[in-house]
Each structure stands twice: as structure tokens, then as C-alpha cells.
Amino acid sequence: MRLALLASLALTSQLHTLTAEACGGDFYRPPQMFVVAAHHGRTFVLLDGNVTAPDTLDWKDVPSSYDMTKIAEAPALPAPRTLTMVGPKGTTTVASNDHVFITPEWQSNHAMNALEVLPSDRTQPRLAIEGEHASVRWTGLESVPVSLDVIAWAEHPGFSPALDGRSLMAEKLDGTELEMITSYANGTATTYFRTGDRTPWGGYAGSPIGAVTVDGVRYVVLVNDGLVTPVRA
């Protein structure tokens, strides 16, 4: 019943960040989550794309960067923001008001507001979560072969629209049978979920980078144009 309810929510609002408990419980709002971008030894938390007049900013290349990322100065925030950084090697809590504008070449097509942070090198952070949390754990993804079965399912997933079978990636959440099938047609990522018995679960814009469990609640993390959609799983 929980899966059916979540699927209904996913289909009616692809980028909805509200999920519900099974059998009609209260809506649950996840904590804010932000993708982390690393550029030649510097680490940035991508906040949002609400940058006014980006063409007027004094953009500068990241020294020795291997991509086209550029950074412009921005006014410091009035107070530091506390963030829990999580990655495959652990978590750490940071606080920063070092506001910058950034054009993160690999994560977004647009200029974004960001915080530059100094997390512990050992954590290899992938995600930043608003606030300090007692329990945070990262779960990775396992690649799944794009078999004829995966292609056939993507082209007839049980809801609309069908995915383009020519540009697919399939992954599974480690330790589960929950699969995510992503199409990259026309430069846009769309991800459909299915359970181990191939039951369709829901569809979202973006592509998965892993899952995070925050204070006992697990979310699959999808990223679309630099912004995070957490999907409760």
C-alpha cells in the first residue's frame, strides 16, 4: 500500500518533495538537501539557481580546473549555515557563510548560488543536508546491465511517457531490489523506479547519485540541473 501511494504521488507531481506515510498518515517533509560539487581541491554546496543578472558578474576560471566551471564573488551570508556533509566514507558537520556564484559545468547548465566549504577530505562528500543530524548514512548504487528486459520495460513501463530505450542506464540501490532506470534522451535525465518484481513505482526528473538515511528515514537522491529531489524509499 505504501508503494502504491508513493507511486501515485510521484506520477501526479514529478518534482514533489513531500511524501506520505502508508495508509493516509501525515505528510512528511524531508530536510533540505544539496548536491556537492568538487573542483580542483575546492568544495561547493550548490544551493539554488536564483542568480540575478548572471551575465553582469565578474566570472573567473577555477585555477587549474579540468572543466569549464567559473566562479564569481558574492556577498557573504549574514550568518553561517550549518550543513551535514555525507559521502561514501562518512559524515562531517561544517558551517560556512562563504557565499559564491558558480557555473558548475558538470552539475548544472546555469549559474547557481553556492557555499564554499571545507569538509574533511576523508568523507568524499556527495551531498549536504541542512542542519546537524545525529544519524546520517550514505548508500551507494550498483550498476545493472541494460538487458533486453530492461529496455522492454522502459519502453512499456506501465505509465506514460515511455523511456527512450536507446539511451538507458540501470542501477540498483545496494542491499535492495529497488531499481532505477534512467534515460538520457535529448540531454535530459528522467528516472523511473521499479521494484524487484518489475512493478512500476514512479517517475522523476533527474538521475540518481545514491541514497541517504537521515535520522532513520531513507531517501534516494536524484539530481536535476544542480538541484536535489529526495525520494523517500
Distances (CA, A) of 199 to 127, 163, 171, 209: 29, 16, 15, 22
- Write down the H helix ranges in the chain: 2-12, 148-155
Question: Distance (Å, rounded) from C-alpha 160 to C-alpha 122?
Answer: 42
CB atoms within 10 A of CB 142: 12
Domain ranges of the chain: 2-29+138-232, 33-133
The answer to whether 144 touches 170, Cβ cutoff 8 Å, is yes
* Stretches in the chain below the pLDDT threshold 50: 1-26
- Quick one: cell of 168? 538507458
Is the whole-model pTM more than 0.75? Answer: yes
Per-residue pLDDT reduced to its tens digit, 118-147:
876 666 799 999 999 989 999 999 999 999
